[in-house]
């Protein structure tokens, strides 16, 4: 069984930071876009960011920073925003499918209509090296909403996913992610 949970311990946060660094090295070796910000891994160690991780039998497969209704500068209306999504190298496709299912369901449970995310895109989306990745995302249900400046001031592809309650998903992915909101409210959405 898989589990998506908030990374609360220093050890979990360190593991997420290491995953981010491994993923960035993997992307660099393949000449794919890597965030210009050198401190992305540090965001996962910051106790104010409340990152989440997807685990399988104790192995961290992916990490991200879920945010509720951030000011992205694009898209209208409330959303669950998945910031700084990083997956364990060599596990991307299946992991992204699981994240997609979870994000759609979690957004519905938060009572927001959409989940949003950004993917680095240095060139026009139809010729960018990530074009095959964007096609896989659209096959999974994500809509590409063009490109522009992203949350971290880099050129990105803007992605949206419709929120959808998935009642049977808990049999596949357990969810212990704190609701992304003010740090004073540490409720869990179960």
Rounded to the nearest integer, the mean pLDDT of the chain is 86
**Complete DSSP assignment for 14-60:** HHHHHHHHHHHHHHHHTT----S-TTHHHHHH-TTT--EEEEETTEE
pLDDT for 133-177, tens place per residue? 889 999 999 999 998 888 878 889 999 999 999 999 999 999 989
Tally of domains within the chain: 1
For residue 153, give its domain range: 2-189
Task: Report how far residue 37's alpha carbon sits from residue 42's, in angstroms, rounded to the nearest whole number.
Answer: 10
Q: Which residues pair with 144 in a beta bridge?
A: 159
CB count within 10 Å of CB 116 equals 26
Task: List the single range of 4-8, 36-40, 70-74 with lowest mean pLDDT.
Answer: 36-40
In the prediction, which pLDDT does 133 show? Answer: 86
- Residue 143's pLDDT is what? 95
Q: When comparing pLDDT for 106 and 150, which is higher?
A: 106
Nearest to 108 by CA among 131, 84, 80: 80
What is the percent of the chain where pLDDT is above 90? 54
Identify the pLDDT of residue 46.
85
Total-model pTM: 0.88
Q: Report percent pLDDT > 70 for the chain.
A: 93
Tens of pLDDT, residues 42-85: 889 887 888 999 999 999 999 999 998 777 888 888 999 999 99
pLDDT score of 2 = 95
pLDDT of residue 80: 95
Confidence of residue 18 (pLDDT cuts 50, 70, 90): very high
Query: Over 90: is that where the pLDDT of 103 sits?
Result: yes
Mean pLDDT, range 87-112, rounded to an integer: 91
Q: What CATH number is given to the structural domain containing 104?
A: 3.40.630.30
Radius of gyration of the chain (CA): 15
């Amino acid at each position: 069984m898989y589990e998506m949970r908030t990374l609360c311990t220093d050890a979990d946060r360190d593991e997420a930071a290491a995953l981010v660094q491994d993923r960035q090295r993997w992307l660099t070796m393949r000449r794919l876009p890597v965030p210009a910000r050198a401190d992305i891994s540090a965001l996962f160690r910051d106790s104010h960011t409340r990152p989440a991780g997807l685990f399988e039998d104790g192995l961290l497969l992916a990490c991200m920073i879920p945010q509720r209704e951030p000011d992205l500068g694009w898209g209208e209306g409330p959303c669950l925003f998945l910031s700084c999504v990083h997956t364990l190298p060599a596990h991307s496709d299946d992991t992204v499918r699981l994240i997609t299912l979870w994000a759609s369901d979690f957004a519905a449970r938060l009572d927001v209509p959409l989940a949003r995310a950004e993917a680095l895109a240095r060139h026009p989306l139809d010729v960018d090296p990530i074009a095959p990745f964007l096609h896989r995302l659209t096959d999974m249900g994500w809509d590409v909403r063009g490109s522009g400046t992203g949350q971290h001031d880099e050129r990105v592809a803007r992605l949206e996913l419709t929120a959808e309650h998935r009642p049977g998903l808990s049999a596949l992915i357990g969810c212990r992610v704190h609701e992304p909101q003010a740090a004073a409210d540490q409720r869990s959405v179960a």
